[in-house]
Structure 1
Amino acid sequence: MGIFKRVKTIVQSDVHGFLDRVEDPINMVKQYLRDLEEQLDRAAEALTQQLLVERKHAVLIEQTEALLAKRSHQAELAVDRGEDAIAQIALREKLILQERLMQYRSQFESLQQQTVQLKEQILQLKQTYDALQAKKHYLISRVQTAEALKSVNNTLYSFDPRQAVRGFARMEEKVWQLEAEATARKQVQSITGPASAGLPQDKLQDSVLLELDALKRQRQERGAQTAVTNV
């Protein structure tokens, strides 16, 4: 294989590979539909021109038939009057008009056949367009489903469950640390806080009051005994 042929093959391969990568299915389907729409528009314009030409030929046939009848009548009148020269002129134009009328009618039949064929082509284009339009939604649905599955697969492929387990373990350990800090702080407050400092003081005060009451009763009893002795 020559070097130029190899280079050509490589270039073609690269170009086709690039086109395969950028050829989006949805965009391509939409473009095909736009192409069909343009063909339908051109076909509609062609049908309009075809019907216009057909109508002109129909009018031309009507006019030629009317003129042919007129020349026939003129020839008959000339013969009745004995005007052979005028009759010959009328008959000559009659023959020419007959030939022309045959051509017009033949052309008109051809135009009608072309109109029928053009309408059939438009109908086929419209059916193809409708079928592709319906298929477009189906393809779009398939593409979206495929892209969703691809995204899920990529996520699953890149997801490492062990990393999540390790992450949960770290979070659990952090929660334990926070709980331990809260418990330690509560215990420290219970030991060093004002409420705990006043607790022994409150118990001592109660003892003091009890001792005071006992002492008062004792003193009252001694006072009563002294008074009895003196009497």
Structure 2
Amino acid sequence: MTNSAKAENALELTDLSVAYRVAGRNRAVLRNLSLTIGQGEAYGLVGESGCGKSTVALTVVRYLPRNGSITGGAISLDGQNVMKLDAEALRRARAESVSMVYQDPGKALNPSIRVSRQLTEIFELGGVSGQAATDRAIAMLNRVRISDPVSVMQRYPHQLSGGMQQRVAIAMALANDPSMLILDEPTTGLDATVEAEVLDLIAQLRQELSASI
């Protein structure tokens, strides 16, 4: 969906219900959840561990695990009915409209592939290759306040600190210029100083990109 054709709301959940199949039974984890996030708006879910925050995030992009299922309700992302998207349309939505940053960047990043390859691959999927893809990858690392992006590009994820890994993960999530960025507790496991830096970075990027969070 082009910027000129954006829906009034970035995300609408209506009476959303989700269950996990455990020991032969459906266990409800979300019941009739409704919320609306406007274009460019920041919206936070607060709750105890295990209350379903991550499940909400995964459901929006239909990344539920095999034993998870949507048992009721509707999801509208930029005016698109996510529930009715076929595999190709869903892949396109994930590539163009919405990105997600997970709790543990160490698990989200591939440990056996250098940062450079993981970042440039995103641009290559969008039709940008060679030096142009490398230049854009370096620019993205600069954008998330990595002071020596060329050096970081040559490293493997395990060679980076937790805070640096999360900045790389955010850079990868923003590479496709999404209209919505979903953050699943992105500062979990970071010390207080780094946590504050990451939250400040996210606030700045939201203003720069006019993205919903």
Q: TM-score of the superposition, structure 2-length normalised?
A: 0.17
Q: Greater Rg, structure 1 or structure 2? A: 1
- Considering fraction of residues, name the structure with more strand: 2
Q: Return the TM-score normalized by structure 1.
A: 0.16
